[in-house]
Amino acid sequence: MSERRARPEHANGRRSVWRRAPAPPQPPSSKTAPPAAVPASAEPAEVASVVQAALYRDGVRVSSPATLADTYRELRDQPSGMAWIGLARPTDAELLSLAAEFDLHPLAVEDAMEAHQRPKLERYGDTLFVVLRAARYLDAPEEVDFGELHVFVGPDFLITVRHGAAPDLSAVRHRMEDSPDLLKLGPEAVLYAILDAVVDGYAPVVAGVQNDIDEIETEVFRGDPEVSRRIYELSREMVEFQRATRPLVGMLHGLIAGFSKYGTDEELQRHLRDVADHVTHTSERVDGFRQALADILTVNATLVTQQQNAEMRALAQAGFEQNEEIKRISSWAAILFAPTLVGTIYGMNFHDMPELSWGFGYPFAIGLMGVVCFSLYVIFKRRGWL
């Protein structure tokens, strides 16, 4: 790598594809300015995205450049040093500048620009490109927030490109700087620490999701009407969580095989195998969560169906009882209507009604009323209306 830095930039044929990288075009008025003003105008864009850049030698920080240009220059002056550059949502110009300086592959740089990549591990020559999906549990809304991290690992540099709030790599940097024996193992050790931090960040998420599932089970049997929506939203989050953890299992096993192939420190290999075990355990837990949520959703659907059936039965029973009451009311109304009809007819007092002067007219009317009422009562009683 020292030979690469010693060569002038125009002599490096591998950088020709990134000729547009270093700085954005200057306005026409800058033509009269001295040449030194061109790189100075590019520095504000670098500072905006560079979270932290540092140079290390033998596991100890020796410099903290403020810009990418300073990092490039100081790394060239430190043949045995290692650069660790951290960026958050960098601009395309910054990524192209990094690609030109460290000979990063165009496909990897394109992935880092676009983001929204699935976890993967790819090797381009002597550079590793790693995509990780970090996760964190938000207590207030009770949901899982996912972030994306791209890592370029070379012989003497490590570049992290973060898209999202997670993960917080400042703790990783502090941990590594407090362990110079581990840090002096090089970029592979930093990559291990980042993987370990991402995987350790899954533990609070697993605990939070487990608590959510316990609450959902209680809400299901309590009959909470909003529980179906919560189950669906948590299931969607578990799909994303599964996409973040499942590919990581194969990635770590491939990385372990590569560490063995290239003779990486044995202790570092053991640490990486421990991270792989944790990822496998987390992936199994996530698979279990998805199955548990599917079972809970089935149980909830069954309980909702049973509740709906019970409500339908109650409505049917209420309708049946209402019909019975209507039958009783209608029967008594018909019985009472018969004497009213007879009385109304004989109450018209027409002169041509022969029954008015009949001596048995009154008993006959009363008897007729009684016979009609009794007959209707018997009929309604036999039909079960009374």
- What would the pLDDT profile of 121-165 be if each residue is shown by its tens digit? 999 988 999 999 999 999 888 889 998 999 999 989 999 998 877
How far lies 197's CA from each of 100, 127, 141, 262, in Å?
A: 29, 21, 24, 24
Report the range out of 23-27, 28-32, 68-72 with the highest average pLDDT: 68-72
pLDDT tier, 262 (very low <50, low <70, confident <90, very high otherwise): low
Per-residue pLDDT at 201: 92
Q: Tell me if 343 sits within 8 A of 366, measured CB to CB.
A: no
Does 194 have pLDDT greater than 70?
yes
The H-assigned helical ranges of 103-222 are: 106-114, 170-177, 180-183, 187-200, 202-222
Per-residue pLDDT at 260: 66
For the chain, percent of residues with pLDDT exceeding 90:
32
Give the mean model confidence (pLDDT) for residues 286-305.
90
pLDDT tier, 204 (very low <50, low <70, confident <90, very high otherwise): very high
pLDDT tier, 117 (very low <50, low <70, confident <90, very high otherwise): confident
132: which strand partners?
149
Per-residue pLDDT at 102: 93
Whole-structure pTM value: 0.69
For residue 93, what are its two tokens? Answer: 């110009």
Per-residue pLDDT at 367: 85
Least confident segment among 160-174, 225-239, 289-303: 160-174
Q: How far apart are CA 256 and CA 109, in angstroms?
A: 24
CB atoms within 10 A of CB 209: 24
